[in-house]
Amino acid sequence: MSGNIKLLSDTLAAAKAEGRSALIAYLPAGFPTVDGGIEAAKAVFDGGADVVEIGLPHSDPVLDGPVIQTADDIALRGGVKIADVMRTVREAHQATGKPVLVMTYWNPIDRYGIERFTAELAEAGGAGCILPDLPVQESATWREHADKHGLATVFVVAPSSKDARLAEITAAGSGFVYAASLMGVTGTRESVGEQAQDLVRRTKATTGLPVCVGLGVSNAEQAAEVARFADGVIVGSAFVKLLLAADGDLAAGLAGVRSLAGELAEGVRKHS
């Protein structure tokens, strides 16, 4: 069975055709529970997200700030497994028909087996994988399997990336390019600054892939700011914060993330 890279590409192209950025939401699998995480993914789609990234919880998430680390810890203590991540992808995609990716560090895939992971992700209807810590020069085997199964390989670029390095990364990637808007870890911020705009400009000079910006966006105004120059706006910590604040009241948490997705979806449409 082939994965949904085409659905991802078509979704991003449709947003561009509408003259707007795509809204991409991030949520960790298994948080607040496996079932709760599935419902949260459906809720952000209901609110207006175009794409959802499902995080594979990791004990040492180098890119993630304290909010997502807290959620990952809850998921890991709840016993989340890769099978639960696949189930989350499957059920979120089947319920909505929209593209769902997995965001994961390399070590869990390496342990699980590349062929097994890519085959199962494609079978679940996944659109691809975001791999923040897999060096491009060590990615050939992964990309071979991902291509075979119709999955996107999304690499992360940062403001520190030199132009030659950007070209190397974007040439190897597919689906879209994840532009980390600033140096550091994920989390909501007051402003998503000029560094992000410069990084998008430099990245776009090397590729025809959509360039989507993550790290720091938490409200409609910031989403509109980023949407002026990026093909997609990625929001994670702001959603996770709402689920954490609900403190076990899943209905309240779901209402919160659905509402925020709606506000952000309006934001990405207001930039023009």
Any catalytic annotation for residue 53? yes
**Structure tokens belonging to residue 1:** 């069975």
**Neighbouring C-beta atoms of residue 79, cutoff 10 Å:** 9
Please return the burial class of 201, using the count of CB atoms within 10 Å of its CB with bins 0-12, 13-18 and 19+. exposed
> Measuring CA to CA, which residue among 176, 172, 174, 173 is closest to residue 200?
176
CA distances from 39 to 10, 28, 32, 35, 138 (A): 24, 12, 10, 6, 35
Bridge partners (DSSP) of residue 6 are none
Q: Which of 53, 72, 84, 120 is catalytic?
A: 53
Helix, strand, coil tally for the chain in percent (to 5): 50, 15, 35
Of 39, 50, 64, 84, which residue is the catalytic one? 64
Kindly state the tokens that stand for 183. 């140096």
Q: Strand order in 152-154's β-sheet?
A: 152-154, 128-130, 100-103, 51-55, 22-28, 232-235, 211-214, 177-180, 156-157
Residues acting as catalytic residues: 53, 64
